Amino acid sequence: MRGWGGARRSGVMAAAAEESGWRRVGFVGAGRMAEAIAQGLIQAGKVEAEHVLASAPSDRNLCRFRAMGCQTTHSNLEVLHSCSLVFFATKPHILPAVLVEVAPAVTAEHILVSVAAGVSLSTLEKLLPPMARVLRVSPNLPCIVQEGAMVMARGCCAGSYEAQLLRSLLEACGQCEEVPEAQVDVHTGLSGSGVAFVCAFSEALAEGAIKMGMPSGLAHRIAAQTLLGTAKVLLQKGQHPAQLRTDVCTPGGTTIYGLHVLEQGGLRATAMSAVEAATCRARELSRNPSPVVAQVPSVLQALQGEGALAHREHSSVARS
């Protein structure tokens, strides 16, 4: 890979180089979300398993990558040296320190994607070299079954090529939309946290049926299938939920009686407040990044100083 001072190759050669380069996909962090994205890319044929390299400090999560046929390492820098397209999937509070660690290895050919909640593009760009191509993705857990709902936002140096490439890859894991970064935290509240909200509702539906005499396993299966079927109708027909709800209701029937009870319990307002609370928490996390960020200028200056010293030492040896 070239350094930041290297001249860019032109035209078709540069496009071909980038097209082949991203075929090696790296993951810094090997948790559930990294596994879900890797699994989606592999199953959709977007990348070969042997061309995926994942890093983590221990083997606890890496074993799942090995089971898929992927390469693994304990070195984050090895991922940067080996792959042009790199997903950063560490815990949010760990990511700043990881970026400071790998920043010296970042080149103009890298496409860097963060899936860490609450870490803004401006924070990512502060921690990386100038002109780094950075994008931010907000996934959710259903990516593990290739039914995720994802949004992505691009940094100042990421263009349409990078955005289109990332979107085409992530569509192997579900639905992916490009949005302004201000909407990423809203997505976290709606869809990231929303998985738990939907599970709570599914559980409540099933427990209502259990109370009325249905076996537990059957009740939970039917509740989950009801949610799945309803979601498919909404997506495939493009209907507003209110229209589908109206279609189900008949005058004096069972559904309107049940809906009346939900309205009395404040279901709609409670769900709206839950999304609002989760979104506000995501924004709070974005406004209060890790203390590592405050140390970035001095850390990067030290790293650059070490690089300059190593270059001078190498030049002296070469001349002697």
pLDDT confidence tier of residue 187, bands split at 50, 70 and 90: very high
What is the number of other CB atoms lying within 10 angstroms of the CB of residue 285? 19
Binding residues: 76, 89-92
Tokens representing 301 are 């200056």
Query: Can you tell me the distance from the alpha carbon of 76 to that of 175, in angstroms, rounded to the nearest whole number?
Result: 29
Q: Report pTM.
A: 0.79
pLDDT confidence tier of residue 112, bands split at 50, 70 and 90: very high
User: Which pLDDT belongs to residue 1?
Assistant: 44
The yes-or-no verdict on residue 219 having pLDDT over 80 is yes
User: Which pLDDT belongs to residue 290?
Assistant: 54
- 22-180: which CATH topology? Rossmann fold (3.40.50)
Binding residues for NADPH: 76
Report pLDDT digits (tens) over 1-10. Answer: 444 433 333 3
The yes-or-no verdict on residue 289 having pLDDT over 90 is no
The reply to whether domains 22-180 and 193-287 share a CATH topology is no
pLDDT confidence tier of residue 302, bands split at 50, 70 and 90: low
What are the sequence ranges of the domains in the chain? 22-180, 193-287
Cα-Cα-Cα-Cα dihedral sign, residues 310, 22, 11, 177: negative
C-alpha pair distances (Å), 128 with each of 104, 259, 283, 307, 311: 8, 52, 22, 15, 21
Binding residues for NADP(+): 89-92
Mean pLDDT of the 176-194 span: 95
Top-confidence residue, 2 or 207? 207
Residue 256 has phi, psi (to 5 degrees) of: -65, -30
CATH number of 193-287: 1.10.3730.10
Q: Report DSSP letters for 114-153, one per residue.
A: E--TT--HHHHHHHS-TT-EEEEEE--GGGGGT-EEEEEE
